[in-house]
Amino acid sequence: INTRVRLIIPAVAVMLWMCAIHDATAGSQWQASSSVSYYTGDYGTLTDTETTYLLLGLKRYFPSWEVSGSVPFLNSKSSGQDTSSESGLGDTVVKGKYYTAEQDGLLPYIDVAAKVKLPTADEDKGLGTGELDAGFGLESLYRMRESHLLFFDIEYTVIGDSPDYDYANRVLLDAGYGHLIGRDILLAALFEHRTAIVDDNADAQSIMLSVDYRFRPRIKLNFLVEFGLSEGAADLGITAGFRYYL
């Protein structure tokens, strides 16, 4: 395991442990989720790639923090200079988030997040790097009046190096606007920038448009369309899913 990743993993574990101690006697709520995503693009290469994801997730909410895990199953097809088709289990991600600050005047809601990517994907099939990653970040939300929302997130991820590649660490930035229609519909537009983890590859920049709809008191449906703005991003991405609150 990359030395830098070894340093971050204990910090993630300590944060989750402190949150657990803080809320040991508090109530909690579970959320189960699933989504299907389709991405297509050449990512700045001579090969077109189509990738389909089936993502299964589980999240537990506490009064001042939350913890979640997600497992993807994916199929990737490439055509052009290199032609291949691979499918299987993707990398599992475990994430914790601590609700650090409530909105107060110009100060937005601020959450501190940490995550670990477990290398459950088959690197020989090209479905993952085969290495452990770990990251941390800040997530913020500012509510203007009752129906207007501003989002801003920043995340830094230490990418585990494989025996064959020395990957660069990744910085993710996103900013967006959301509009609530009543209590059941949220429309959002988001700009995202992700730095490349491989030298000479372009950074990924994209625009995302999403709709969240409360179909039932315990069920939310979501739909997202992503448009790539740079060679490092997919040309088009489409996601549809649901969340069920237990």
Give the tens place of pLDDT for each residue, 3-37.
Answer: 444 444 555 555 555 555 555 444 558 999 999 99
Q: Distance (Å, rounded) from C-alpha 1 to C-alpha 18?
A: 25
Neighbours of 79 (CB within 10 A): 13
Query: Are β-strands 29-41 and 47-61 bridged in parallel, bridged antiparallel, or unpaired?
Result: antiparallel
pTM as predicted: 0.86
Q: Distance (Å, rounded) from C-alpha 206 to C-alpha 195?
A: 12
Q: Which residue has the tokens 């690197």?
A: 123
Give the tens place of pLDDT for each residue, 47-79.
Answer: 899 999 999 999 999 989 999 999 999 999 998
Helix-strand-coil split of the chain, %, nearest 5: 10, 60, 30
Q: Distance (Å, rounded) from C-alpha 175 to C-alpha 163?
A: 35
**Looking at residue 7, what is its pLDDT?**
46
